[in-house]
Amino acid sequence: MIVQRRSDLDGDGEEQSIDQTVYTRMYQIPTNATLADASLEVADTLPEDATAVIVASKIEQARRKGGGLGMCKIARVTAIALRMK
């Protein structure tokens, strides 16, 4: 399934500390898809970083990209990648 990262939405970003990176990602998913369909459930990994394990995810609504009319389905995902020393 194709998921599109929406870095233009508030909340998309990352925070780094000495031993981990916490990612908050926003992905647009098809309107009929679930988190499981998009592989964005807890314990899955981020599509762009297999070392970051998802610890929380939920579905929200947002405006379509480019200011289009209507709303789209967004998966808000929090993932953690530990840094090995």
Domain residue ranges of the chain, discontinuous segments joined by +:
4-82
- Say what the pLDDT of residue 50 is: 93
Q: How confident is the model at residue 83 (pLDDT cuts 50, 70, 90)?
A: confident
pLDDT tens digit sequence for 25-77: 999 999 899 999 999 999 999 999 999 999 999 999 987 776 667 788 999 99
CA distance linking residue 15 with residue 24, whole number of Å: 9
What is this structure's pTM?
A: 0.87
Measure the CA–CA gap between 64 and 72, rounded to whole angstroms. 6
70: left (phi over 0), alpha (psi -120 to 50) or beta: left
**How far apart are the C-alpha atoms of 20 and 36, rounded to whole Å?**
25
